[in-house]
Amino acid sequence: MTTERVKEPKGHSVSSIFDIAPNVLDEIRAHLEMSNLAIPVTQLLGWSQFEPHKAPTIDDVETTTSTTYVDLATEGPTLSGLPPGQYLVLFGFTGSNSVDGTATIMSFATDGAAISSDTNPGIVMNSNVKDCSVLGFATVTLSGDRVGGHELKAKYKVDGGTGTYFYRRLVAFKFANP
């Protein structure tokens, strides 16, 4: 079966992976509930379908010099078996680059598709020679039934130098049906 993308996802960056707790959506819900909304947040369209999916964190220190997206020696993190839906995807790493001001980049592939400028769901990058944690987020729509479900898999590249990665994370929150 094939997958169709309904709309092109957009990505954003946060300065540190530690800025967002794993239970971030629960905290947002609690804040909204205390803000005296006219309706309970649980009645907002799509909220009741919220499903978090978390890949195991990869702590191994690994490097690449590739200027195209590749797997590192320990592939992933990977989320498999995802049902169709709209997802908020959080992804990030701690790392550095051997050349100051040169980007060390992480993104993710959807259902094994190659990442290009046309299909890139979002990137997160670190342009420092010192270790720094970065976190990105993007929205992606996974539609169509697939045997075994949909897959999101982290990929890596650099703009130059040697990129070093560790403490790699990937979390997807289903917030609506496609």
CA nearest neighbour of 102 among 125, 123, 120: 125
Q: Tokens 């992976």 belong to which residue? A: 17
Q: In terms of residues, how long is the chain?
A: 178
Which tokens in the block code for residue 87?
């997802």
Work out the number of other CB atoms within 10 angstroms of the CB of residue 49.
12
- pLDDT tens across 133-166, in order? 888 888 888 988 888 899 999 999 999 999 999 9
- pLDDT tens across 74-116, in order? 999 999 999 998 888 999 999 999 998 888 999 999 988 877 6
Q: Domain spanning 11-19+51-176 has what CATH number?
A: 2.60.120.760
Using alpha carbons only, give the angle 127, 130, 135 rounded to the nearest 5 degrees.
55
Confidence of residue 6 (pLDDT cuts 50, 70, 90): very low
- Residue 21 to residue 111: CA distance in whole angstroms: 27
C-alpha distances out from residue 66 to 8, 71, 83, 135, 160, Å: 25, 10, 32, 21, 8
Q: Tokens 């980007």 belong to which residue? A: 103
Work out the number of other CB atoms within 10 angstroms of the CB of residue 22.
11
The contacts of residue 132 (CB under 8 Å, 6+ apart) are 16, 94, 95, 96, 126
Confidence of residue 2 (pLDDT cuts 50, 70, 90): very low
Confidence of residue 61 (pLDDT cuts 50, 70, 90): very high
Higher pLDDT, 39 or 76: 76
Higher pLDDT, 37 or 73: 73
Which tokens in the block code for residue 59?
């702590």
Please tell me whether the overall predicted TM-score, pTM, comes out greater than 0.85 for this model: no
CA nearest neighbour of 144 among 1, 11, 21, 34: 1
- Residue 133 to residue 70: CA distance in whole angstroms: 20
SS3 assignment, position 16:
coil
Q: Got the DSSP string for 56-91?
A: PPB---EEE--SS-B--SS---EEEEEPSEEEEEEE
Give the type of residue at 67: T
